[in-house]
């Protein structure tokens, strides 16, 4: 479980973009919704242990993450994967991108190749793996970023607007992949989204964020009726 | 080339440090580096002369009028240029690739390696700009190098000398040679860069 306790965060000075947020993510699909600038991305990055909160604690599997040594932090961080809204790909081939997380974990070249091919087949992007990253469309980049995350079998998967910039057919494909991951039940998925349909079809819990505060949590049907629909 | 490599050894970590700073001090520091871009090379030469002359604070090193002091001087001269340009590159790269590497489980060391790898092409291009500035400067080489024949005479000081002597044709030929050297280095590095992409 990842637990955020009384989190405050600001990029500069006292201009807090996250204000006293306490929330936990455990074995579920949780959708975080809210208007632009409400702090969804920032909250996801704090929960992914990328940003350090100004105040408050991030508890990962019972351990206060920011009190750990650098070596221990890496161990815990490797249970979590965050996927950016705008896919960021590294230079080189698609296969190198998908295998990045495995390489830094010390997997052999052969193991990486095998796993890359397996995940590429699952996501129907096998035809892309020898292409260079800069030759891909945005939708293809998004799929590659998702493959790069899923290949790691994370305990916690944080997705920032996973369907943004995607063509309808690709959206359906991504939703199917995420449903499969959800149904396997090994990964806690947290999705920041503007898309009520995605929240309704995927999530068992919705959190509404507004100006850095949680204003409502509950089942998607109840929440979305009140705030969105 | 030695001056560029020397300047890179401190400019890269300095730029990364500045790019990763969160507080407002960094905008003051980068403004200082931007302002230093316009510093006349003669003034840098004069400052170095005062520091490294026999009565100066570093006079005991006996570096004045040696090739080493020219390299040091040129490295100092191009540092504001390298830092100003690399700061922009690293600010963007840290926001993207540093975060990406961490989000995929990289250690800090692995994340730094990833960032450096991703911006290596930009660093190479910036280095070339620094190299062009260093090889073409006159003030530092003339004041702290002394233009000693066969020892500290470089192309720019040789050109200046020929102009003083009224040998304009020789000066023009040396200038052309300088241009060809810079162009060859830039073209070969661009060729290597394209091959590695």
List of domains in chain A: 2-88+155-227 (3.40.50.300)
Note whether residue B189 is domain-resident: no
Domain hosting B115: range is: 2-148
Q: How much is the average pLDDT of B101-106?
A: 95
Partner residue opposite A50 with nearest CB, options B102, B107, B118: B102
pLDDT in tens, A35-56: 999 999 999 999 999 999 999 9
Nearest to B193 by CA among B123, B129, B131, B130: B123
Q: What is the ipTM of this complex?
A: 0.90
CATH number of the domain encompassing residue B104: 1.10.3720.10
Which residues 18-57 of A are in CB contact (within 8 Å) with B?
45, 48-50
Q: Identify the pLDDT of residue A14.
A: 85
Q: How many domains does chain B have?
A: 1
Of all residues in chain A, what percent carry a pLDDT higher than 70?
98
Does residue A228 surpass a pLDDT of 60?
Answer: no
Note whether residue B175 is domain-resident: no
The Cα–Cα gap between B30 and B15 comes to: 9
Q: Judge contact between A189 and A159, C-beta under 8 A.
A: yes
Q: Please report how the helices A168-184 and A138-150 are oriented relative to each other, as an axis angle in degrees rounded to 10.
A: 10
Is the model more confident about B23 or about B83? B83
Note whether residue B161 is domain-resident: no
Is the model more confident about A20 or about B144? A20
B104–A11: do the CB atoms touch at under 8 Å? no
Q: How much is the average pLDDT of B18-28?
A: 80
Question: A174 to chain B, minimum CA–CA distance in Å?
Answer: 19
Chain A CB within 8 Å of residue B113 CB: no
Nearest to B66 by CA among B52, B56, B80: B52
Q: Identify the pLDDT of residue A226.
A: 64
């Amino acid at each position: 479980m990842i637990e955020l306790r009384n989190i405050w965060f600001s990029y500069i000075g006292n201009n807090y973009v996250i204000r006293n947020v306490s929330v936990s993510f455990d074995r579920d699909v949780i959708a975080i919704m809210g208007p632009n600038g409400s702090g969804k991305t920032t909250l996801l990055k704090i929960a992914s242990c990328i940003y350090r909160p100004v105040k408050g604690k991030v508890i990962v599997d019972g351990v206060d993450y920011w009190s750990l040594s650098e070596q221990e932090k890496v161990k815990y961080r490797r249970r979590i994967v965050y996927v950016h809204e705008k896919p960021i790909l590294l230079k080189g081939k698609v296969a190198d991108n998908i295998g990045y997380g495995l390489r830094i974990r010390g997997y052999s070249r052969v193991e990486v190749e095998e796993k890359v091919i397996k995940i590429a087949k699952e996501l129907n992007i096998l035809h892309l793996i020898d292409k260079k990253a800069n030759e891909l469309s945005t939708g293809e980049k998004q799929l590659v970023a998702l493959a790069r995350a899923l290949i790691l079998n994370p305990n916690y998967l944080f997705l920032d607007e996973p369907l943004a910039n995607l063509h309808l057919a690709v959206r359906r494909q991504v939703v199917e992949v995420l449903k499969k991951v959800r149904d396997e039940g090994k990964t806690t998925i947290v999705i920041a989204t503007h898309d009520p349909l995605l929240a309704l079809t995927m999530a068992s819990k919705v959190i509404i964020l507004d100006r850095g505060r949680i204003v409502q949590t509950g089942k998607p049907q109840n929440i979305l009726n009140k705030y969105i629909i | 080339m030695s001056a560029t490599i020397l300047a890179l050894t401190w400019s890269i970590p300095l730029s990364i440090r500045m790019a990763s700073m969160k507080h407002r001090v960094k905008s003051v520091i980068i403004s200082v580096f931007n302002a230093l871009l316009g510093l006349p090379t003669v003034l840098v030469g004069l400052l170095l002369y005062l520091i490294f002359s026999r009565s100066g604070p570093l006079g005991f090193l006996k570096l004045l009028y040696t090739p080493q002091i020219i390299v040091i001087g040129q490295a100092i001269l191009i540092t504001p240029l390298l830092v100003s340009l690399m700061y922009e590159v690293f600010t963007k790269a840290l926001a993207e690739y540093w975060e990406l590497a961490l989000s995929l489980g990289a250690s800090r060391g692995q994340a730094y390696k990833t960032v450096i790898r991703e911006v290596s092409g930009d660093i190479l291009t910036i280095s070339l700009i620094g190299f062009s500035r260093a090889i073409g400067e006159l003030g530092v080489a003339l004041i702290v190098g002394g233009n000693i024949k066969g020892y500290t005479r470089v192309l720019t000081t040789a050109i200046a000398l020929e102009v003083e002597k009224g040998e304009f044709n020789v000066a023009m030929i040396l200038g052309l040679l300088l241009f060809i050297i810079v162009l060859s280095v830039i073209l070969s590095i661009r060729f290597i860069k394209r091959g590695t992409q």
